[in-house]
Amino acid sequence: MNRNPLQKILSPNSIAVAGASNNPAKMGTILYLNLIYGGFNGEVLAVHPNQEKIFGKTAYASPENLPYAPDLAILIVPSRYVVSLLEDFGKIGTRHAIIVSAGFGETGKSGKALESELIAVTKNYDMRIVGPNCLGVINSSHPLNTTVVPLQDKPGHLSLVSQSGTYVTQTLRYLKQKGVRIAKAISVGNEADIDLSDCLEYLSEDQNTRCIGLYIESVKRVDRFLQVARKITRNKPIIAQYVGGTSAGARAGASHTGAMAGPAYLYDGLFRQAGIIRADTIEDVFMSGNALALSPAPAGKRIGILTNSGGPGTGMATTIEALGLEVPEFSNHLRKKLESFLPGHAGSRNPVDLTFHTGMELMAETLPDILLQSGEIDGLLIHGIMDTGFADLLYPIFKDVLNVSESDFKGYFMADLTQLISMPRKYNTPILLSTFMGEEDHCLQTFRDFQLPSFDSPEKAAHAMAALYEFSMIQKRLPDEPSDMKDLSIPEKAVQIMKYATSETMDEYMAKEILRAYNIPTPDEIRADSPGQTIIAADRIGYPVVIKGCFPGIFHKTEQNLVHMDCRNKEDVQIACKAISDQVRNAYFLISQMINPGREFMAGMTRFNLFPPCILFGIGGIFAETINDFAVRLAPFGKNEATRLITSIKSNKLLSEFRGKHSVDLDALVDILIGLSHIALHFPQIREIDLNPILINGNQPVIADAVFVLEHT
């Protein structure tokens, strides 16, 4: 097994920086000094064509002049010099580099050509690079920081991979203020060589990384990304923000890193299939990611809330329930036990509301212990534990009255948090805290010192708890084994039909013949070329029937008066045939078994650049686009993932018993989706497939209409 190149890039013994100078305003200089004075234990060498000394240290005119080949080269020079300079490093034996310089694929045609030259050099010398157009890497435990901002805090357990350099540099002080400690951070830039999938593989093996946070504008190797991420999320959480799903987001991403963004719902399907938790904001990546790195996952969705104020407690409860978790009312037994300690005005039902009780012993010791012992909750949210921060606010009005020093006054309020900080491990249950106090508060500092996740608003703590619960569900879900396409033969009938498909849009009968070749259920149907043949076909199928006018290239037949339902006799058939013939010349007739409309679903396939075939399932019928309730997965997948796809739509209750109708046969729907994915993988010339509606006959799904759109030939 090849060693991941990031192992050497994030743990080098020696580094050469090309671009350092005596000008303190230059990025290369800042990066160089940050390495020297930031704790890196190896040697840092400077490469500069003109300056012999840089801040008193020897500089070398070119890589050939270096005393040895460094483990890592960092290039932060104008883009026109990068290719030749990287080649010089390759010649002396350096095999790893970080290209900070911009001006490559993100800038257009000429930049892409320059990036191609860069990659040619890496292949020629067997080099691996991060970048270009990136801001470097951080390994807090090595320690190594190749960015332009000094490390601000101790090593932590959340690692970050970002397609924006800002999120691993400018955020370092912000993260310290939020109590978030970083294990590793990688700014991947244009991903000309090392990409997100490589980073995930590296971090999956990193002992210090307990959660991986991602900022994504696009994924280049989607199938590889899915394969790697799916393995990781069985044991280690990944939380990601994707920003390219809107036209503005995609435009910004393309100008930023040369990204080609896909619609948001594709990434939603990719993340769900991979077991990745999706974040709405980068703050959520940081804060919920930190909770995922530090907290045990809840065993269930029952969340207890303990607060010293009604507003924050209500905010937590509302957010928790909106995110699909529960705030159960406590049993009488538990309430009586709580009430024996509560002041008379306090609520005990859940939330447990002390209504601004300033004594912290109840909130930090007695009540959390009772709640966690009860067996009635799977996670605990606490708002309002504070001590010296509150004392700071009060001291100005008490100092003259009490004639006491500020330190003594703070001592009156100091809370004992010894028991609280041990409770998550003791009970293997997550405890998340929120407070409006800042770093001046002893409680907040203690939470951070002992890595107990804390938040500056109640709702943020609730969001993090929901992320923990989502990860617990990801861990429990059944593994999925995609069908092995190599061992799956292509039906000969489908091959023959595709040979005769010359139009951009295949007619419905041919499309359904392909479906039938893959054992995908359709109604009993007969094709007829004349009204007389149509009547014979209707007699054979049995009334009532549906009469359709079909012809290659016809979309939306209902809107064109080409679908006539519930034809009950010969006269109805004749009327339908005449109406169809008047509407479209040369149309043939498709006579189908009449299935009473009821619950209508849809399935489909579409292709997007860089993505495997995308399989869709959702609510169908004429209101499909209006309701817009669907989900997506990437082919191939197995039965477990197909089941998750089907049940993930918002209207999934329609799959169960509904107004006297049977529950839908989920296994039959699963087979349809897997068959659809096989068609897409067998025939790449099929650009789109639309199966709408899928009607439910008894409890069996049946494809009532099918459209195949082919690539232009």
Taking only the tens place, the pLDDT of each residue in 466-523 is 999 999 999 999 998 776 555 578 999 999 999 888 777 788 999 999 999 999 999 9
Task: State mean pLDDT over 62-84.
Answer: 97
Residues 509, 705: Cα–Cα separation, whole Å = 9
Backbone φ and ψ of 30, nearest 5°: -60, -45
pLDDT digits (tens, 9 = 90+) for 253-309: 444 434 444 588 899 999 999 999 999 999 999 999 999 999 999 999 999 999 999
Q: Does residue 710 lie in a domain region?
A: no
What's the 3-state SS for 279-342? CCCHHHHHHHHHHHHHCCCCCCCEEEEEECCHHHHHHHHHHHHHCCCECCCCCHHHHHHHHCCC
Could you tell me which residues come within 8 angstroms of residue 637 by beta carbon, excluding any fewer than 6 positions away?
273, 480, 482, 483, 615, 645, 674, 677
Final residue belonging to a domain, choices 294, 321, 336:
294
The CATH number covering residue 34 comes to 3.40.50.720
The C-alpha angle with vertex 612 and arms to 606 and 617, in degrees rounded to 5, equals 45
- For the stretch 373-410, pLDDT in tens is 999 999 999 999 999 999 999 999 998 888 899 999 99
pLDDT score of 670 more than 90 = yes
CA-CA-CA-CA torsion for 638, 640, 646, 652, nearest 10 degrees?
180
Instruction: Verify that 229 and 210 share a domain, yes or no.
Output: yes
Structure token pair of residue 405: 């020093």
Same domain, residue pair 174 and 224: yes
Specify the number of domains making up the chain: 3
Task: Classify residue 173: in a domain, yes or no.
Answer: yes
Q: Where are the alpha helices (DSSP H) in 45-164?
A: 79-92, 109-124
- pLDDT tens-digit series, residues 528-544: 999 999 999 999 999 99
- pLDDT of the residue at 120: 97
Nearest one of 381, 424, 378, 153 to 286, comparing CA atoms: 153
Q: CA-CA distance, 75 to 96, in Å (whole number)?
A: 11
Quickly state the pLDDT bin for 369 (edges 50, 70, 90): very high
Domain identity same for 309 and 437: yes
Residues 346 and 305 in one domain: yes
| Alpha helices (H) in 428-530, listed in sequence order | 442-449, 458-476, 492-499, 508-517
Same domain, 301 and 386: yes
Mean pLDDT of the chain: 92
Structure tokens at 352: 């447990």
Cα separation of 75 and 82, whole Å?
7
Compute φ and ψ for 10, nearest 5 degrees.
-95, -5
The whole-angstrom distance between residue 654's C-alpha and the CA centroid of its chain comes to 27
DSSP H helical ranges for 477-591: 492-499, 508-517, 531-541, 570-583
CATH at 160:
3.40.50.261
**Beta strand residue intervals within 61-198, DSSP E:** 72-75, 96-99, 128-130, 137-139, 144-145, 158-162, 182-187
Same domain membership, residue 127 and residue 248: no
Predicted confidence at residue 251, as pLDDT, reads 47
Does 610 fall in a domain? no
Omega before 67 within 30 of 0, i.e. cis: no
Mean pLDDT of 619-631: 85
* 219 and 159 together in one domain: yes
Question: Is the distance from CB of 590 to CB of 548 less than 8 angstroms?
Answer: yes
Which of helix, strand or coil describes residue 581?
Answer: helix
578 in a domain, yes or no? Answer: no
Q: Which residues, including other chains, have CB under 8 Å from residue 361's CB and lie 6 or more apart? A: 415, 416
Q: Is residue 521 part of a domain?
A: no
Give yes or no: residues 235 and 314 share one domain.
no
Q: Are 576 and 538 in contact (CB under 8 A)?
A: no
Tell me: do 362 and 397 sit in the same domain. yes
- Terminus-to-terminus CA distance in the chain, angstroms? 42
CB 613, CB 680: distance < 8 Å: yes
When pLDDT is cut at 50, 70 and 90, the band that residue 166 belongs to is very high
Question: Are residues 449 and 315 both part of a single domain?
Answer: yes
CA nearest 292: which of 306, 277, 314, 303? Answer: 277
- Residue 231: predicted pLDDT: 95
Same domain? 58 vs 80: yes
pLDDT 10s digits, 545-583 = 999 998 877 777 877 889 999 999 999 999 999 999 998
DSSP H or E stretch at residue 59: strand 57-60
The beta strand positions in 90-234, using DSSP E, are 96-99, 128-130, 137-139, 144-145, 158-162, 182-187, 211-216
Domain span holding position 277: 152-294
Q: Which of 294, 321, 353 is the last residue of a domain?
A: 294
Look at residue 696 and tell me if it is in a domain.
no
97 inside domain: yes
Last residue of a domain, one of 294, 324, 343: 294
Residue 200 domain flag:
yes
Q: Could you tell me if 123 and 239 lie in one domain?
A: no
